Chains A and B, each alone.
Chain A
C-alpha cells in the first residue's frame, strides 16, 4: 500500500525523471519498497484524475533548433476572454494559453500564449498569421521574447 507521504515522494521523483533502464517503474518500486504493480496503478490513477498531466519526455526546444520563444500577451474584454482563449488555444503554433489577472495600470493583459519558432522572425510570422486570419489586432498582442534562460527545472512540491 502506498501511503500519502510516499505518493507525494513518488510524484516528486517522477517529475525529476524516470531512470532510463529496461523496467523504470520496477526501479522506482524498489526505491520505495512497494510492488511495481502498486506504482503502476497509482500512476494510472494520477493520470486519470489529472494530478499528472502527462508522462513523457520534456525536450529542450533551444537545443532542438527552436531557439526563439515569445510569450504573447493579449488584452481581451472580459466578456470575450473565453471565446478568444479557446480560439488561440486551438492554433497549431500556440503551445499554451492561459487567462491571468490584469494588474492595472502596469499590466492590462489578461490572456497569455506561448509561441516557439526556429528564429525570431518565424515566431513573428506565426503571430502575424494568427492575428490576420482571426482578425485579432484589436486585442493588442505584445510579443515578449525570451532573451536569456536562468533556470528551467521540473516543478516539485514540498512539505
Chain B
C-alpha cells in the first residue's frame, strides 16, 4: 500500500534526479524527510516493483539507432515468436497489442547496419509480415508520469 509520502517521493524522483555528491540529501530537504528514510524507501519501492530502476534514460537518436517495429503473428505462433523476439538483447520493449499487427517491439542498436540486421533476422525467423516504423519527429516526450 502506497502512502502519501510514497506518491510524493515517486513524483519527485522521476525527473531531475540531482547530479551531485549527495543527491538524496537534496531530495530529502525538498520533501522535509530524513535522507536515510528517502534512500530506504526508494530501495523498498524498487524491491517491490513500483520502480523499475532509478537511472538514466538515453536519447536513442544521439547514442545509437532505434526503431519501433510490429509483426503480424498468427495466434498459434505467438508464444514462439514473442520469445524469439525478446531474446535479442537489442530488443528492449516487446508488447502484445490488439491489432492484426499484434507484436510490437523496439529495437535499439549501435548503428543503422546492426539495427537492420536484427530486424531482418527477426523477419526471416518469424516468417511474419513486418512493419518498421522509425521515429521521424518527436513532438513531445515526458516520460515522467504524474501519480
Contacts and interface: CB of A to CB of B under 8 A. Distances in A.
A5 interface: no
Contacts of A151: 85-86, 91-94, 105
Interface in B1-28: 2, 10, 13-17, 19-24
Contacts of B15: 54, 56
B63 A11 contact: yes
Main secondary structure of the interface of A (DSSP, over half): mixed
Q: How large is the interface on B (under 10, 10 to 19, 20 to 34, 35 or more residues)?
A: 35 or more
A100 B51 contact: no
A131 interface: no
B22 to A, nearest CB: 7
Contacts of A25: 19-21, 23
B141 to A, nearest CB: 6
Highest count of chain B CB atoms <10 Å: which of A24, A36, A56 = A56
A58 B57 contact: yes
A94 B134 contact: no
Interface stretch (A85-93, A121-129, A132-140): A85-93
B140 A97 contact: yes
B31 interface: no
B60 interface: yes
Nearest to B107: A155
Nearest to A149: B95
Contact of A152 (B62, B93, B111): B93
A25 B54 CA distance: 12
B42 to A, nearest CB: 6
Nearest to A51: B62
A40 B20 contact: yes
B54 A100 contact: no
Interface of B: 2, 10, 13-17, 19-24, 35, 39, 42-43, 46, 48-60, 62-64, 66, 68, 82-83, 85-86, 89-99, 101, 104-106, 108-111, 114, 129, 131-145, 147
12 contacts: A20-B43, A23-B21, A57-B17, A63-B50, A88-B139, A99-B135, A107-B101, A144-B104, A148-B95, A151-B94, A153-B92, A157-B58
Interface of A: 8, 11, 14-18, 20-26, 36, 40, 43-44, 46-47, 49-61, 63-64, 66, 71, 81-82, 85-86, 88-90, 94-101, 103, 106-107, 112, 116, 142, 144-159
The 9 A-B residue pairs whose C-beta atoms are closest, nearest first, are A89-B140, A17-B53, A14-B56, A89-B139, A85-B139, A159-B110, A148-B96, A151-B94, A99-B137
